[in-house]
Amino acid sequence: MVCKSQLFVERRPQGDYAVRRGSSERVSAVLPTQQRTIERARELNPGHEPLVERVRHTTVGNPDKWRKP
């Protein structure tokens, strides 16, 4: 179950990044870099870390998995 107050940082097909609340289809913000999007998510939901979509393969995860920033 996704918490409605949880924020997610996702990469969009256009190459930029979006902040989206859990269970929401509309985005709260769109920014050109992942770092700026994470900062914006922290501003929108102070005291809570957003979950960030992995965008590349690493030794600890693959794309389409969520991580804390």
Q: Is the pTM of this model over 0.85?
A: no
Residue 17 three-state SS:
strand
Between the two ends of the chain, the Cα-to-Cα distance in Å is 21
Listed by start position, the domains of the chain span 7-67
- What is the tens place of the pLDDT at every residue in 4-45? 678 999 999 999 999 999 888 899 999 999 999 999 999 999
For residues 16 and 14, give the distance between their C-alpha atoms in angstroms, rounded to a whole number: 6
